[in-house]
């Protein structure tokens, strides 16, 4: 699905319109740019509906959007669906800036609920998408008029939309990278990382993520160079391929042959750390959609992939089939697995707040709460206990999450070691992260304990466009007393 182009950010991540930029009334239109004649209303209605649904039910955008789209599929052309999705993504990515701009321009009133959702849809287009201002405002006013609870606000919507368009430059000039974090996350990250680190991190997290691929044969250097050329991709220091631009993955060379899978450069690391070999009994716990299952199966291991979601497990099956790999799949709660199962190696990619993936899932910042993190941390501890119990003596365990929160990473590694006296940490070394060379650069991704801690803005010059936030720690169960190993 193509998406409307975003207005290009300058070096600070802010939008600017230079003297040589086209005048607003002659803005070039991107692939899915709005028609300015009253058409395109369905796109705005879809975006308005989904934003409201995500905020109020706290459902992930990735669930809410396809469901709302399916409900109106017959009525909405594909390019409008692409525009609606682009509006949703950028609305969540830049929600702090949008809300501050609206609040500052509503003296004596505040926009809440559906009115705020509608104004957010309008402001997202004006400030961040390649959509004519008058189309954004006109469709917003039409939406207000057609809505029983918003029709009285049509004039306000019109006036505010026009004002946002008039004052775009100053709104964007005033917006700093931290403004797009909700208060709870802002406070948390400031106290954890300090201001400079936090600004750098938030700056990367509000950009669109590049498209990274992991090769099916992850270790084959010559094949990597070949695929990099065929795909017009860059080889990252970690061995992932990073595409020069975002393209529809199904159209790329190697898709049908299963030569690679889409996977962020940071997410490619944990399965590699387990270093599984042919025939080893391996459990991939919490496996769907199966990025790591594929990596483990590609090394010839006998993989059991477990996920409690049958629906998401079908995506594991699809990924394995496309890459011509096999694994045993099981729809089950990991906590309910039989206690007498034993594995030589276990990957536990635990459910988490996913704050490391804000580039792809910007809604996470606005739907998760500190209470969610506490609940998830509790579940992670129970999953850790279960996984340790399923590990054969001498076996390896990698625990990982795509979270930036220490409760879901560093604290869980400490918990595991304190709770399970028969487990010891196996420190990760920079050469394990690197495809070739660049070791000094990648050392910044390993903390003092020897755990993998990817921060979105770290990783040195080779990863300058950023990577997902991730945590991974590796452990070994002590061999049984009579085991010579």
Ligand X SMILES: C[S@@+](CC[C@H](N)C(=O)[O-])C[C@H]1O[C@@H](n2cnc3c(N)ncnc32)[C@H](O)[C@@H]1O
Annotated binding site: 286-292, 307, 333, 349
Closest approach of Cβ 361 to ligand X, in Å?
Answer: 11
Per annotation, catalytic residue among 88, 198, 400, 402? 402
Q: How far, in Å, CA of 244 to CA of 241, rounded? A: 10
Contacts of 365 (CB under 8 A, 6+ apart): 92, 95, 180, 181, 182, 185, 355, 358
Nearer to ligand X, 55 or 384 (CB): 384
Query: Quick one: which of 72, 77, 3 has its CA closest to 40?
Result: 77
Nearer to ligand X, 122 or 346 (CB): 346
Closest approach of Cβ 346 to ligand X, in Å?
Answer: 12
DSSP 483: -
Q: How far, in Å, CA of 221 to CA of 241, rounded? A: 12
Query: Checking phi first, is residue 420 left (phi over 0); if not, alpha (psi -120 to 50) or beta?
Result: beta
For the annotated binding site for S-adenosyl-L-methionine, the residues are: 286-292, 307, 333, 349
- Cβ atoms < 10 Å from Cβ of 338: 7
Active site residue 402: yes
DSSP 393: E
Q: How far, in Å, CA of 366 to CA of 411, rounded? A: 24
Which residues bind to ligand X, rule: CB under 6 A?
Answer: 286-292, 306-309, 312, 333-335, 349, 351
Nearer to ligand X, 239 or 290 (CB): 290
Nearer to ligand X, 241 or 398 (CB): 398
Closest approach of Cβ 420 to ligand X, in Å?
Answer: 19
Nearer to ligand X, 175 or 209 (CB): 209
Contact, 86 vs 65, CB < 8 A?
no
Closest approach of Cβ 360 to ligand X, in Å?
Answer: 12
Give the pairing type, strands 423-425 and 343-349.
unpaired
Nearer to ligand X, 80 or 349 (CB): 349
- Cβ atoms < 10 Å from Cβ of 273: 18
Closest approach of Cβ 214 to ligand X, in Å?
Answer: 10
Closest approach of Cβ 354 to ligand X, in Å?
Answer: 7
Give the pairing type, strands 241-243 and 233-235.
antiparallel
Q: How far, in Å, CA of 92 to CA of 56, rounded? A: 14
Closest approach of Cβ 285 to ligand X, in Å?
Answer: 7
- Cβ atoms < 10 Å from Cβ of 29: 15
Nearer to ligand X, 137 or 390 (CB): 390
CB-nearest residue to ligand X = 286
Contacts of 81 (CB under 8 A, 6+ apart): 1, 43, 46, 69
Q: How far, in Å, CA of 307 to CA of 329, rounded? A: 8
Contact, 241 vs 253, CB < 8 A?
no
For 358, the 3-state DSSP assignment is coil
Peptide bond into 289 cis (omega under 30): yes
Contact, 210 vs 243, CB < 8 A?
yes
Catalytically annotated residues = 402
């Amino acid at each position: 699905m193509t998406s409307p182009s975003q207005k290009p950010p300058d070096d600070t991540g802010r939008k600017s319109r230079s003297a040589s930029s086209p005048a607003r009334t002659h803005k070039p239109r991107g692939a899915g740019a709005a028609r300015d004649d009253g058409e395109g209303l369905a796109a705005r209605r879809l975006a308005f509906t989904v934003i409201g649904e995500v905020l109020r039910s706290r459902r992930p955008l990735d669930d809410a959007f396809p469901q709302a789209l399916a409900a109106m599929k017959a009525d909405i052309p594909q390019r409008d669906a692409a525009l609606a999705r682009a509006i949703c993504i950028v609305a969540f990515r830049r929600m702090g800036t949008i809300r501050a701009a609206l609040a500052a321009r509503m003296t004596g009133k505040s926009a809440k609920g559906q009115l705020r959702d509608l104004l957010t849809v309008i402001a997202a287009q004006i400030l961040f998408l390649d959509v004519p201002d008058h189309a954004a405002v006109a469709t917003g006013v039409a939406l207000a008029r057609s809505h029983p609870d918003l029709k009285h606000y049509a004039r306000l919507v019109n006036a505010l939309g026009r004002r946002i368009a008039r004052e775009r430059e100053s709104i964007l000039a005033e917006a700093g990278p931290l403004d797009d974090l909700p208060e709870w996350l802002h406070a948390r990250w400031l106290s954890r990382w300090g201001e400079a680190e936090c600004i750098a991190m938030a700056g990367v997290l509000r950009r669109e993520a590049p498209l990274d691929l992991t090769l099916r044969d992850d270790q084959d250097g010559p094949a990597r160079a070949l695929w990099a050329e065929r795909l017009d991709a860059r080889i990252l220091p970690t061995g992932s391929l990073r595409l020069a631009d975002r393209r529809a993955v199904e159209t790329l060379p190697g898709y049908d042959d299963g030569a690679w899978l889409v996977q962020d450069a940071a997410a490619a690391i944990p399965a590699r750390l387990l270093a599984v070999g042919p025939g080893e009994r391996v459990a991939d716990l919490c496996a769907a959609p199966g990025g790591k299952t594929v990596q483990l199966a590609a090394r010839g291991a006998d993989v059991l992939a477990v996920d409690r979601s049958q629906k998401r497990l079908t995506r594991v099956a699809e990924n394995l089939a496309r890459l011509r790999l096999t694994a045993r799949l099981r729809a089950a709660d990991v906590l309910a697995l039989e206690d007498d199962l034993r594995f030589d190696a276990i990957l536990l990619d635990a459910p988490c707040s996913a704050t490391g993936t804000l580039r792809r899932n910007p809604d996470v910042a606005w739907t998760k709460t500190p209470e969610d993190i506490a609940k998830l941390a509790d579940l992670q501890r129970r999953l850790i206990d279960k996984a340790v119990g399923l590990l054969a003596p001498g076996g390896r365990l990698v625990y990982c999450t795509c979270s930036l929160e220490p409760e879901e990473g560093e604290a869980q590694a400490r918990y595991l070691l304190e709770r399970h006296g028969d487990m010891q940490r196996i420190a990760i070394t920079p050469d394990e992260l690197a495809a070739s060379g660049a070791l000094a650069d990648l050392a910044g991704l390993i903390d003092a304990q020897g755990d993998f801690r990817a921060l979105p803005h770290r990783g040195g010059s080779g990863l300058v466009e950023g990577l997902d936030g991730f945590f991974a720690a590796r452990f070994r169960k002590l061999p049984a007393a009579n085991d010579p190993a």
